[in-house]
Amino acid sequence: MDNDIGSIVVTALLWSTPVTVAGTAVLLLVRRRSLVVSNVILVLTPLVALLSGLIGVSGFMFTNDLKRTVTVLATVFLVAIPASVALARFQARRTVWERQIRDQERAAEHSRRELIAWISHDLRTPLADIRAVAEALTDSVVTDTTEVTRFAQLIDQDAIRLSAMVDDLFEMSKINSGALRLDREAVDLREVVDEVAAASTPTAARAGVGFELSVPPAVVPVYADTRALARVLTNLVINAIAHTPEGGTVTIGIEVVTDGAVVRVDDTGPGIADDDLARIFDVAYRGTAARTPPGERGLPAGSGMGLAIAEGLVLAHQGRISVSNRHPGSRFEVTLPLHRG
């Protein structure tokens, strides 16, 4: 009896081992190609190895017991293969989802660190200016009335800049936390664009940049928060002015397309580097090309969050925002769904 058991073990090993080795080799070859195929091979290999061992031990004598065993294995095949395919697809989707979540978390953490670095740097400058001017006034270094007034204006300008940065941080935190609440209503997109154009024209004039407006004659109804939409367009227009050299032109226009209303903000600046296009809407990302220093050409100093805020507000309206290069300059497009009510 012991000899029979030993013989059975040896025979089973001789017949099942090659199948196992072959299955392992195939699995190693396809492991980088398809998770579904890998999972099917993982299920099939032990079943085929078991069948091979049974056939080897039986000596190819297909008795009723062997037929019953083979029938059971065939039934298991029919159940196990679809189940392994379904589980592999589920696992593949879960793996992709987990990878995307990890990538998003890493990107968010990198963005937060970048934001802290930028804000720390940008807060330091106006605070240092305010402190220096305040010390000069306190120590009576400046006594002339005209100079005192000018110093007070400098403090006021830096305070406004700090206030704008705090407002941007607060707005960005609401967008990221999902606490943003929009007061949406049916509005004519042309009216919002007109208001933004009227408010931005003096800024463009101080920067030596021409400003053009192109809107359709008919009403363009959208369902939006007027304040939020105006902020989106203002951020885009100010960004366009900042990156347009003197003598250039910024154009804001509206077009009605099949899936909504499109607002385009075009400039005639140097364009955006290809490496910057993918990150242009990241928080605190300002790029490196042709950036106008804060306060020059009469332009307001930015916090580096303007485009990120614009993207967040557009997405909150179920719209989309994109950027592309033109010749010359660049183009920002905001697409909003039309109001059908």
Per-residue pLDDT of the chain (341 residues; tens, 9 = 90+): 445 677 777 777 777 788 788 877 877 777 666 666 777 777 777 777 777 877 777 776 667 777 777 777 777 777 777 777 777 777 777 777 778 888 877 876 776 777 677 777 777 777 888 888 888 888 777 778 888 888 888 888 888 878 877 887 778 777 777 777 888 889 999 999 999 999 988 888 888 899 888 888 888 899 989 999 999 999 999 889 988 888 889 999 998 888 789 999 999 888 888 877 877 887 666 554 433 344 555 565 555 678 888 898 999 888 999 998 988 889 999 999 988 76
Q: Which residue has the tokens 């106008």?
A: 292
pLDDT of residue 123: 76
pLDDT of residue 296: 55
**Those residues with Cβ within 8 angstroms of residue 12's Cβ, 6 or more apart along the chain or in another chain:** 53, 54, 56, 57
Report residue 155 as tokens: 């403090």
> Looking at the whole model, is its pTM more than 0.85?
no
SS (H, E, C) the chain: CHHHHHHHHHHHHHHHHHHHHHHHHHHHHHCCCCHHHHHHHHHHHHHHHHHHHHHHHHCCCCCHHHHHHHHHHHHHHHHHHHHHHHHHHHHHHHHHHHHHHHHHHHHHHHHHHHHHHHHHHHHHHHHHHHHHHHHHHHCCCCCCHHHHHHHHHHHHHHHHHHHHHHHHHHHHHHHHHCCCCCCCEEEEHHHHHHHHHHHHHHHHHHCCCEEEEECCCCCCEEEECHHHHHHHHHHHHHHHHHCCCCCCEEEEEEEEECCEEEEEEEECCCCCCHHHHCCCCCCCCCCCCCCCCCCHHHCCCCCCCHHHHHHHHHHHCCCEEEEEECCCCEEEEEEECECCC
Task: Give the up-direction half-sphere exposure of residue 313: CA atoms within 13 A in the CB hemisphere.
Answer: 26
pLDDT of residue 232: 92
Phi, psi of 216 (to 5 degrees): -75, 160
pLDDT of residue 3: 56
pLDDT of residue 98: 77
pLDDT of residue 146: 85
